[in-house]
Structure 1
Amino acid sequence: MRALRGHLTDPAAFATQVDEVQRPQGYRLLGAFTEKRSERADAVAVLGFRFATNLAWGRFCYVDDLSTVPEARGEGHATALLERVHEIAADEGVSMVHLDSGVQPERAAAHGLYFSQRYRIASYHFVREP
């Protein structure tokens, strides 16, 4: 997750945020792991998602976070995680999966992945900061 959310430098604070704040709100995590001969496998990609309902879309699945460590990009981990979240959404009777992605040039590969998974640009996302 640190590859995407660089401000998350404290593993204990990250675990607390996920377990005590986001998970009670329905946030779930999926991970892709390397095969190691040691007793612990390393996560190479992670996807955080949740289900919600609003007036515009009804019930939907929202991907909050999708990240792959740089050295494992292009190996299909993010694709596998997206395919898995699509299966989970279908099992929940939900047909729409939404996500937002930054528009910086370094996000081009991620955008290519989303287009290859049949996502489309559906709206502008506006934000106002104080």
Structure 2
Amino acid sequence: MAVLEILPPSTHLAFRAMQALRPHLKDAESFEKQVDDVQRPDGYRLLGAFDDERANGTDAVATLGFRFGTNLAWGRFCYVDDLSTLPGERGKGHASALLERVHEIAADDGVTEVHLDSGVQAERAAAHGLYFRQGYRITSYHFGREV
């Protein structure tokens, strides 16, 4: 397995894995445009887990999107926006490898905290187990409201 940062013009390699988490994503082209033109300028980065050590233009089997930020509550932090694995590839260590890599990137940047949110649906139980095994703890409730 290889964990690599996915950079333009290869953003589309993350689409299939990301769509497993975000089924509203319609196609690789609009996904790539959203990530490269809107989110990357705000600091969003993508990691991919690949079965092939060299990736060679193959789709990622798992992907993690993250960014750095600063706020009054946490100071400088790393936030994992997205972590998704293709259904047939789950349980093989890809997500753990991606989290370990983002922890290394955060530490190299001098950041001492990595945060993420996860839905509370029953189908998220395996993901929650992964987060606990990786040392994450539930530290707050997250509230949202449509306006």
Q: Do both share a fold (TM > 0.5)?
A: yes
Q: Write out the 4+ residue segments of structure 1 that deviate beyond 2 Å after TM superposition.
A: 39-42
Give the conservation status (yes or no) of the 8 Å contact 1:34–1:42: no
* Distance (whole Å) between structure 2 residues aligned to residue 68 and residue 92 of structure 1: 26
Counterpart mapping for 1:3-82 below 5 A: 3-35=20-52, 40-82=57-99
1:91 equivalent in structure 2: 108
Q: State the shift of 1:35 in Å.
A: 2.4
RMSD between superposed Cα atoms in Å:
1.1
Say which structure, 1 or 2, has more relative contact order (CA 8 Å, 6+ apart): 2
The one of 81, 91, 100 equivalent to 2:117 is: 100
2:129 equivalent in structure 1: 112
Deviates more, 1:3-12 or 1:80-89: 3-12
Give the conservation status (yes or no) of the 8 Å contact 1:48–1:65: yes
* Distance (whole Å) between structure 2 residues aligned to residue 103 and residue 117 of structure 1: 18
**TM-score in terms of structure 2 length:** 0.85
* Distance (whole Å) between structure 2 residues aligned to residue 41 and residue 52 of structure 1: 31
Identity value in percent: 75
How many residue pairs match? The answer is 128
Residue deviations 1:66-105, cap 9 Å, x none? 0000000000000000000000000000010000000000
1:128 equivalent in structure 2: 145
* Distance (whole Å) between structure 2 residues aligned to residue 77 and residue 14 of structure 1: 22
| Structure 2 residue ranges without an equivalent (≥5) | 1-17
Give the conservation status (yes or no) of the 8 Å contact 1:52–1:59: yes
| Structure 1 residue ranges without an equivalent (≥5) | none
**TM-score in terms of structure 1 length:** 0.95
Q: State the secondary structure of the residue aligned to 1:48.
A: strand
